[in-house]
Amino acid sequence: MSRSEEWASLGGRLRTAASEFQARVRKRPVLAGALGLALLVPFLLGLILTGRKTGDFVVRRGSLSPRVPLVGVVNAVHSDSYGAVVPGVELKILWMVEEGKLVAPGEKLIQFDPAPFQKELDTARARAQELAGEADQARLAVSALDLKTSADLHSKKSEADLSERELSTFVNTTAPLSAQESANEVELRERTLKEAETKLAGLEPFVEKGYVSQEEYRAALLRRDQAAADLRLARAKHAALVQETNPDLIRRKSEETQASHANLQLGTERARVERAQLEAASRVATARLDEARRQIAEAEKKIAASTVVARAPGLAVHAELFDKGGERRKIRVGDAVWGGTTVVTLPDLSRLEIEGRVPESEIHLLMAGQEAQVVLDAFPNRELTGVLRTIGSVGDAEKNESRSFPVTIALNQTDPRFRPGMIARATVLCSRVDHALFVPIESVHSDEKGSFVLVITALGRTERRHVTLGTNSSRYVEVRSGLRENETVRITAEP
């Protein structure tokens, strides 16, 4: 504290003492005057002689510019990981990019041994070639069956159609005509018999008179008997034709027609079943061929995955693993790693950030977007700037039982020489508070009621006074209520 501040503090205390003395004088003028004079002179002499203790602070107003320091580690905002992507397979590393090299997109990073996958590819190709022949044969069998079935069914259909036409012809033409012819034959035989009987009857009177010879008469009689026999035969044939022959032929031709249609239907169904079987065999052969081709594509994909290239630019960093002795070391050429193991990481140096932690007591001063001053231990003479990007929502306990919150600061500058893992010392520039009433941070104590300070009264004593605090810098804290400007607080004394 300056000398002027000390005298200002002393003047304030004198004014306070004078005010108390005047109040007493007004109540008991005579007694108070004598007593006041007797007490005031020693007090003033003692106050002047003793003065204020070292470390006391006069409360004043001013501008507070809180700054929150932190120590963090440089990391890349974006980092890609590369390694063995084939699951369930242990791959041997044949080649790796040199650690610390700046890698461009498309540049080769890792070469795994593709020999196991090449064997798979050769086996799958041989299998696919064999199955391709089987699939072709199955398709040809289906085509051949289609041709054979088409010819067979066409023949059977023709037979069925012919039988149908023959039946129709017989029923509608042949049978009626034959019946009509037979009926005509019966009628003819009936007329012939009638004529023979008429002639015979006409000869009988003349036979008795001797005009007709017995021989001629017997010839007429023979013709009549023959005509009668022919009529009986014609009638028998007609009855057999109408009642037996034609119905039997119609029934037989109907059965033949039905048999031909049944044969056609049976052939169609048999062809359908045979074709379904051949199609199923063709589908199985095609599916097996597709599976072999899928295995070829998978093997080719694995072979392609054995060569790992960079998707984005970055700094090559080799990953670590535990060796057989339990020691942690960098991965190197000749190591075998399982699928999913990271071998190389590429942090993008074009966007860097600082990851650090801030005590819980200072977290209220921070908000995203605040500027920060940064210095890297590796480049102590280079001043950098950044912007507070994120503030963690969950705090972690420290060893001293205090809590801290993670924060990230985005660096505004970049340099190819900057590396992830470098130590960074940052100072976050918080919002400035003007006309703030403030005291040193170490003058503030706390009890079950909250924060308090020790205020020095006009009589040189200290009294505990609870205060409401606001923002703070690295050295001072704002007092929003509980103190007045120019009052003095004690810093070094124990509460």
Handedness of CA 43, 45, 50, 56 (dihedral sign): positive
Whether 331 and 99 have beta carbons less than 8 Å apart is answered as: no
> Do residues 320 and 178 both lie within one domain?
no
> Do residues 287 and 324 both lie within one domain?
no
pLDDT greater than 90 at residue 306: yes
Residue 399, in any domain of the structure:
no
DSSP state of 326: S
> Do residues 316 and 247 both lie within one domain?
no
pLDDT greater than 50 at residue 381: yes
For the ranges 14-28, 157-171, 286-300, 421-435, the maximum mean pLDDT occurs at 286-300
pLDDT greater than 60 at residue 38: no
**Predicted pLDDT of residue 106:** 95
**Predicted pLDDT of residue 444:** 92
Residue after which a domain boundary falls, among 292, 325, 347: 347
pTM assigned to the model: 0.56
Domain that holds residue 259: 117-303
β-pair partners for 404: 359, 396
Mean pLDDT of all residues in the chain? 85
Backbone angles phi, psi at 59, to 5 degrees: -65, 130
> Do residues 108 and 255 both lie within one domain?
no
**Predicted pLDDT of residue 127:** 93
> Do residues 237 and 105 both lie within one domain?
no
> Do residues 176 and 254 both lie within one domain?
yes
pLDDT greater than 60 at residue 416: yes
> Do residues 126 and 253 both lie within one domain?
yes
CB neighbour class for 113 (10 Å; exposed up to 12, middle 13-18, buried from 19) = middle
**Predicted pLDDT of residue 395:** 81
Tens digit of each residue's pLDDT (9 = 90 or more) over 196-236: 889 888 888 887 777 778 888 888 889 989 999 999 999 99
DSSP state of 398: -
> Do residues 329 and 181 both lie within one domain?
no
Angle between helices 246-305 and 175-209 (to 10 degrees): 170
Tens digit of each residue's pLDDT (9 = 90 or more) over 180-193: 998 999 999 999 99
> Do residues 327 and 276 both lie within one domain?
no
Residue 412, in any domain of the structure:
no
> Do residues 236 and 149 both lie within one domain?
yes
pLDDT greater than 80 at residue 352: yes
**Predicted pLDDT of residue 432:** 80
Q: What is the CATH number of the domain that holds 311?
A: 2.40.50.100
> Do residues 320 and 299 both lie within one domain?
no
> Do residues 194 and 295 both lie within one domain?
yes
**In angstroms, rounded to a whole number, what is the distance separating the alpha carbons of residues 412 and 385?**
6
**In angstroms, rounded to a whole number, what is the distance separating the alpha carbons of residues 159 and 223?**
50
